[in-house]
Structure 1
Amino acid sequence: MIQDDVSPAYSNDLDGKKGRDVQEVVSLEELDYSNEVFTQDKALARGLKQRHVQMIALVGIFGTGLFLSSGRGLALVGNVGFVVSYVIIGVLVGLNQMANAEISTLMPVTGSNVRHASHFIDESIGFALGWINVYASVLPAELAATAVIMTYWTDLNPALWLSIFGVIIVATNSYKISFYGELEFCFGILKISLVLGLFLVGLVIDLGGVPSQERLGFRYWKETPWNEYFTTGSLGRFLALVKALNSACYSFGGVSAISFFGGESINPRTSIYIAAKRIIYRTCTLYFIAVFVLSLILSSKNPKIVSPTGNAAGSPWVIAIQGAGIKVLPHIINAIVLTSAFSAANLSLVQGSRYLFALAAKKHAPAVFLKTNKRGLPYWGLIFSAAFIPLSYMSCSSSSSTVFDWFQTITSSNLLIGWMSISVNHIAMTRAMKVQGYSRDRLPFKIRFAPQAAWFSLVAFFLIFITAGFSNFLHNNWDTSSFFSSYFVLPLFIVLTLFWKFFKKTKFVTSSQVDLYTLFKDVEDNPEPPIEKVRGWKIITLLWS
């Protein structure tokens, strides 16, 4: 799917035959160089290595969506439909990240798609995306999940665990970015070990290796391949799949982190490219085998996932393993799932502070968010993001499952907007390069079919987004909270865009006015070491490096 094509842009002169200088299309005087593209990022510490970037993205994917709430999707669409829904979203996310890798290696900045939108499309779009991402990041969905997970072991008030984990998360974000990277790397190793362990245990259960349970094989695929939603027949199965797709989006939430830390990574172009390539392969292997095995060992009609309790006892993995009579393993799984939720909550806090930094870099937020301490951390953004942690106490009520579902739906809608913005940014970059005469061979890393992947993922994610709350329009099925969580982000995006456009009188950046000169000049001025090919026994390191 991805071609190892390192462009000669590192060595070619900008006035070479493979592309005309931007000055031939629009004079330098017409371009706005008042805000240098990479200047603000110099205040951040470049402490993330390639393995850190990859693991941060990986732990963002293998989170509570897979380990805790995937049972809802299984109950909704059936055992075969469950696998199909994850394969569809996984493929679309993979295509989207191909486009993300190309544009982010050309312009590796903190905040990635937010600043890309301002640079390639319109500052008002970047303003709206930035504040939507801040709003999404400060929603403590994953932190709320930590308290839900703890109820598996204790009846203590969840507020206690929210307070403890909230303090720890703020503390881990108050030190060097390299410390955060190492912490997430360790969590990533745990998650990879858990996925591989679940795969092996699931196979043992499925093949009859547990004394208390007979061989399952593909029994559940035959008994409940597709469930129906709202109506019967083919239409009912299709509606169930459509609803399950939106739920599956939540599980892939952290994938865009491969480009998010462009301003804090060592050799960011190489790190982003390798992370993008390997995250797709890992998703296609580790993630899909986990979903596949789960569909073999747990019926979609299991009452415990059809009517979840709202705590970790409703984890489909715990339910399946307990059903096989294995007593100790569920506690081990729950412990690692807890680290997953903690890690995802940690990432949300980091992203909130960095989105504020990205906004401030374009003067879309107060300049105070650009301030960094001696370790290169944007501490005011951290303080602002941490101030919303008390929202997690909403999950302490008896309806904690409903609150978690509400957070999950809002997060899924925001993710879809973010993924669509990546596609639109790449389309704008491609058009600008064509108008200004820059060949795709000039890109620092070129990925085959990335332009087509951007268009395809854009259309697909748009369709998933507009159908996310379709159930509210079915007869006697209206739910105000569901409608709000599914579509609130759209009017918010429109209002924020129009506000900034009229307030600042911004204009859309035409293809001939996009500043490609600075981007390609930076590629030439900052060459990075060539990618070392992995051979021999080192192939095993692809799991974590």
Structure 2
Amino acid sequence: MSFKESNLEDGYSVSSSQFQVTTKQASNDTRDKDSSFISFFKSFKVDKTEIENGVEVLTPEDSLRSYQIKLIALSSCVGSGLFISSASILSSAGPAGTVIGYSIVAVLIFFVVQALGELTSSYPVRGNFLIYNSRFIDESWAFAMNWNYCMQWIVSIPLSLVGASMTIQYWNDDINPGAWVAIFWVCICAINIFGVKGYGYGESVFSVIKVVAIIGFAILAIILIAGGGKQGYIGGKNWHPPFANGFRGTCNTLVNASFSFAGTELAAIAAAETSNPHKALLKATKQIFWRIAVFYMLSVILLCFLVPYNDPKLLGNSNSSASPFVIAISNGGINVLPSIFNAVILIALLSVANASVFATYKPLVALAEAGHGPKFLAYLDRKGRPIFSIVIALAFGLIGFVGASKNQETVFAWLLALSGLSCIFIWFSISLAQIRVNYACKVQGLDLYRPFRAIGGDYGAYLSMIINVLILIAQFYVALYPIGGQSLQASTFFQAYLATPIVLVLYVGHKLWTRNWRMYIKAKDMDLLTGRNQVDVEVALEELHDEKQRWKQNPWWYKAVDVWC
């Protein structure tokens, strides 16, 4: 039995920074003699000693920094969903329907992140929160969710690359899109070949650019609405009529808005890659509040003021792939800025591709560790990188070359269908896991200390589950009765609802394969101690008191920043 396993069975959680890997001195001497170039290539070799001992390598160089976590929580995965797909939402639902749809999903994702924060602080896991499904819900459901989450992100890689190549066409559409896909794919490979470290630095740079761009757009939008552009005073004239396509238009926004918010939960995965996951998670949840309030809600509301729902350049009203942000700036009569913001959108799409690789190889590792996939997916090289999983994730990006094919629309419509509803099931599972843990604590009579308490508690988790179910119902309604009075077709229906039958097939298939007919883990049988974050409550309260005393001595501006950021 390995060192890690023996401690987990005793009910203790050992942070990854406590693991030590001993190697032969001769091997270390040999590595020291190698040049940095040779050492880099040798680092990809799988260290069999480390794998056999079950030891996970994590050095300070491989960890994410606290500032990286903040930036990742703030704007990671903010890309095509907000910058491009919001155009089709506005054209199909109108301004009021768009804001209502985004508001509903914003409430949902806020409580989901709170639930995830409580789970990961109490049961810290390195790399993937999907393990909570097998521990607190059901093994077959965990199998379905692992593969579902993996499919959600693995198809996002080629989609983002093609989206980036299409963004280039704003300046020049003479060059074959496949050439740009190749260039962008090489860039993403170069970043992710460094594993978590590359992901952290890459997302930090991308996030800073997006933060500056969104804040700049908000300031510019207010000026344009107040009459600073060639259109003169705009005010609220673009809000009439407030709805387009009535109730169906609003229902249609929910899944598209969910696609925009997808990836917000990655902050929890990233927080587990730090030397102090608890503190990183507390800070990340604050950044996510601003992510929801500023990046999504404020941006969408300002777009509804600037761009009418029937603008002929919007996606949905034409075949144009122009971003509504670029359209808003162009309508204001500003010449150079649309190109600058289009470059920001290009960077945002590359950011999503980068984050999608990270979000793909983490579930692949979890699948291997849970016995739901080939074992080689969990192999780590000498730098702690799951190199085989990374290679598979990057290889899937090569599907982006279909963007140069005449059948690209058909291929990518089905790729989008695979990932369309995936995040809904994942968010539902997170909230359900939190409720199950709290209920099991009551049944077993355990009063366990929680380093992080979710705002809203179980009530917030129940609300998020209800919203998830309503979104599934709304999407089923829109799939049966498409907008525009189109007749129902099998292909159209499954493109809108494909993720649901896939999840059911995975779930039932695992039940049949394992012959485990238990529907869920009973609360009295749930293991609530293994792997739990063991905290001395008295020491924790004393540290909290000392921290509060130090906090009081700081100036008011520091307190304000600390509370909100």
- Which category describes the TM-score, using the shorter chain as reference length? 0.7 to 0.9
1:259 paired with 2:287, answer no
Quick check: 1:59–1:344 contact (8 Å CA) kept in 2? Answer: no
Q: Which residue of 2 aligns with 1:5?
A: none
Name the structure 2 match of 1:167. 186
Letter in 1 for 2:467: A
Specify the alignment match of 1:509 in structure 2.
521
Query: Is 1:268 equivalent to 2:277 in the alignment?
Result: yes
User: Is the contact made by 2:114 and 2:285 (CA closer than 8 Å) also made in structure 1?
Assistant: yes
Structure 2 CA distance, aligned partners of 1:539 and 1:518? 37
For residue 517 of structure 1, give the secondary structure of its aligned residue in structure 2: coil
Q: How does 1:2-13 map to 2 (within 5 A)?
A: none
Say if 2:235 is the partner of 1:225: no
Answer yes or no: is 1:42 the counterpart of 2:59. no
Give the one of 166, 173, 195 matched to 1:148: 166
Aligned residues: 504
Query: Residues 495-536 of structure 1: CA distance to partner in whole angstroms, max 9, x if unpaired?
Result: 222332333344542212222112435445998986786864
Q: In the superposition, relative to structure 1, how do residues 59 and 108 fare at CA in structure 2: closer, same or farther (>3 Å)?
A: same
CA distance in 2, matches of 1:307, 1:123: 41
Matched, 1:427 2:447: no
1:24 is aligned to none
**Which residue in the other structure is 1:231 paired with?**
none
Q: Does the 8 Å CA contact 1:137/1:352 hold for their aligned counterparts?
A: yes
Distance 1:38 1:115, change over 3 A: farther
The CA deviation string for residues 300-344 of structure 1, in whole angstroms up to 9 with x for no partner, is 0101115466564x2111112112211100111011111110011
Whether the 8 Å contact between 1:309 and 1:401 is mirrored in structure 2 is: no
Q: Secondary structure at the match of 1:255?
A: coil
Instruction: Tell whether 2:358 aligns with 1:344.
Output: no
Q: Choose which of 445, 467, 470 in structure 2 pairs with 1:463.
A: 470
Structure 1, unaligned runs of 5 or more: 1-30, 229-236
Give the corresponding residue for 1:55.
71
Contact map agreement 1:143 1:342 (CA 8 A) in 2? yes
Alignment of 1:362-377 (within 5 A): 362-377=370-385
Q: Please, which of 483, 487, 506 is the counterpart of residue 496 of structure 1?
A: 506
Indicate how the Cα distance of structure 1 residues 498 and 181 shifts in structure 2: closer, same or farther if over 3 A, else same. Answer: same
Q: Does 1:64 align with 2:80?
A: yes
Question: By how many angstroms is 1:256 displaced?
Answer: 0.6
* Distance in 2, Cα, partners of 1:424 & 1:208: 48
The residue type equivalent to 1:463 in the other structure is L
Using the TM superposition, give the Cα deviation of residue 167 of structure 1 relative to its aligned residue in structure 2, in angstroms.
1.6
Instruction: Specify which of 82, 90, 103 is matched with residue 74 of structure 1.
Output: 90
Instruction: Give secondary structure in 2 for the equivalent of 1:284.
Output: helix
Are positions 1:396 and 2:394 aligned together?
no
Matched residues in 2 for 1:542 and 1:311: separation? 43
Asked whether the 8 Å contact 1:250–1:408 carries over to 2, the reply is: no
Once the two structures are superposed, residues 456-488 of structure 1 have per-residue CA deviations (whole angstroms, 9 ceiling, x without a partner) of 111111120232142332375223333223322
Q: What is the TM-score normalised by the length of structure 2?
A: 0.82
User: How far is 1:179 from its partner?
Assistant: 3.2
Deviation, 1:34, is 13
| TM-aligned CA distance change 1:341 to 1:246, over 3 Å | same
What one-letter code is carried by the residue in structure 1 that aligns with 2:387?
Y
User: Under a length normalisation based on structure 1, what TM-score does the superposition of the two structures give?
Assistant: 0.85
- Pick aligned residue for 1:320 from 328, 343, 347: 328
Please say if residues 371 and 378 of structure 1, whose CA atoms lie closer than 8 Å, have aligned partners that are also in contact.
yes
- 2-side partners of 1:402 and 1:416: how far apart? 24
Give the Cα separation in 2 of the matches to 1:80 and 1:43. Answer: 50
State the match for 2:480 in structure 1.
473
Q: 2:154 aligns with which of 101, 119, 138?
A: 138
Q: 2:299 aligns with which of 281, 290, 294?
A: 290
Code of the residue aligned with 2:342 in structure 1: it is N
Partner of 2:232: 214
Residue 21 (structure 1) aligns with? none
Deviations 1:99-122 (A, max 9, x none): 111112112224544211011122
1:248 is the counterpart of 2:257: yes
- 5+ residue gaps, structure 2, are 1-7, 17-53
The alpha carbon displacement at 1:77 in A equals 0.8
Q: Partner of 1:360 in structure 2?
A: 368
- CA distance in 2: counterparts of 1:433 and 1:84, whole angstroms: 37
Distance in 2 separating the partners of 1:246 and 1:466: 11
* AA of the residue aligned to 2:460: A
* One-letter code aligned to 2:508: L
1:41 and 1:250 map into 2 onto residues whose CA distance is: 36
Tell me how far apart the structure 2 counterparts of residues 527 and 309 of structure 1 sit (CA, whole Å): 59
Structure 2 CA distance for aligned equivalents of residues 381 and 535 of structure 1: 47
Alpha-carbon separation, structure 1, partners of 2:451 and 2:117: 10
Q: Which amino acid aligns with 2:238?
A: Y
Q: Please name the residue that 1:6 is paired with.
A: none
Partner of 1:11: none
Contact 1:247/1:409 (CA < 8 Å) preserved in 2?
no
The answer (yes or no) to whether the contact 2:107–2:464 under 8 Å persists in 1 is no
Q: CA deviation at 1:61?
A: 4.6
- Counterparts of residues 95-114 of structure 1 (less than 5 Å): 95-114=111-130
Partner SS, residue 100 of structure 1: helix
The 3 A distance-change label for structure 1 pair 400 and 33 is farther
In 2, Cα distance between equivalents of 1:190 and 1:434: 46
The more displaced of 242-251 and 358-367 is: 358-367
Structure 1 residue 189, shift from structure 2 partner: 1.2
Q: Say whether the 8 Å CA contact 2:124–2:531 is kept in structure 1.
A: no
Q: 1:481 to 1:66 in 2, by over 3 A?
A: same
- Given that residues 73 and 291 in structure 2 are in contact (C-alpha distance below 8 angstroms), is that contact kept between their aligned partners in structure 1? no
Mapped contact 1:59–1:191 kept (Cα < 8 A): yes
Return closer, same or farther for 1:51/1:402 CA change in 2, 3 Å cut-off: farther
* Worse-superposed segment, 35-44 or 458-467: 35-44
Shift in CA distance, 225/254, structure 1 to aligned 2, threshold 3 Å: same
Counterpart CA distance in 1 for 2:297 and 2:271 is: 28
Conserved? CA contact 1:357–1:369, under 8 Å: yes
Kindly indicate whether the alpha-carbon contact (under 8 Å) linking 2:271 and 2:277 is maintained by their aligned counterparts in 1.
yes
Deviates more, 1:408-417 or 1:68-77: 408-417
Q: Is the 8 A contact 1:311 1:401 kept in 2?
A: no
In 2, Cα distance between equivalents of 1:349 and 1:258: 15
Rounded Cα–Cα distance in structure 2 between residues aligned with 1:335 and 1:41: 43
Q: 1:182 to 1:88 in 2, by over 3 A?
A: same
| Aligned amino acid, residue 397 of structure 2 | I
2:103 is aligned, of 57, 75, 87, to 87
**CA gap 1:402/1:191 in 2 versus in 1, 3 angstroms:** farther
Matched AA of 2:177: P
Partner of 2:383, secondary structure, is coil
